[in-house]
Amino acid sequence: MNEKVAGTASGSALSTKRGYVADSIDELKKVQSPTRQEAMRMTGVVLLIIVFISMCLFVMDLAFNWLMGKMLG
């Protein structure tokens, strides 16, 4: 009885993998690449976020450096 279950499990796993691959291909057919204008706009947004976070970290570094200087020196 255990052999029968093991054979069924491996068979259903194979069909599940085939179904997964077929579903993945169907989903990939729905994917649309962004237009050049959308890609440029998104790139600009990412760069602005990077600059903003970098400036925040720079200011925090200066503040902590000044604070540590006052505490230790």
Does residue 38 sit in the same domain as residue 73?
yes
Give tens-digit pLDDT for 19-29.
899 999 999 99
pLDDT at 44: 98
What is the span of the domain harbouring residue 56?
A: 34-73
Neighbours of 70 (CB within 10 A): 8
Asked if pLDDT for residue 12 goes beyond 80, the answer is: no
Does residue 41 sit in the same domain as residue 69?
yes
Query: What is the three-state SS of 6-66?
Result: HHHHHHHHHHHHHHHHHHHHHHHHCCCCCCHHHHHHHHHHHHHHHHHHHHHHHHHHHHHHH
What is the count of structural domains for the chain?
2
Does residue 24 sit in the same domain as residue 50?
no
Give tens-digit pLDDT for 28-54.
999 999 999 999 999 999 999 999 999
Does residue 38 sit in the same domain as residue 54?
yes
Does residue 24 sit in the same domain as residue 43?
no
Asked if pLDDT for residue 8 goes beyond 80, the answer is: no
Does residue 70 sit in the same domain as residue 39?
yes
Does residue 41 sit in the same domain as residue 14?
no
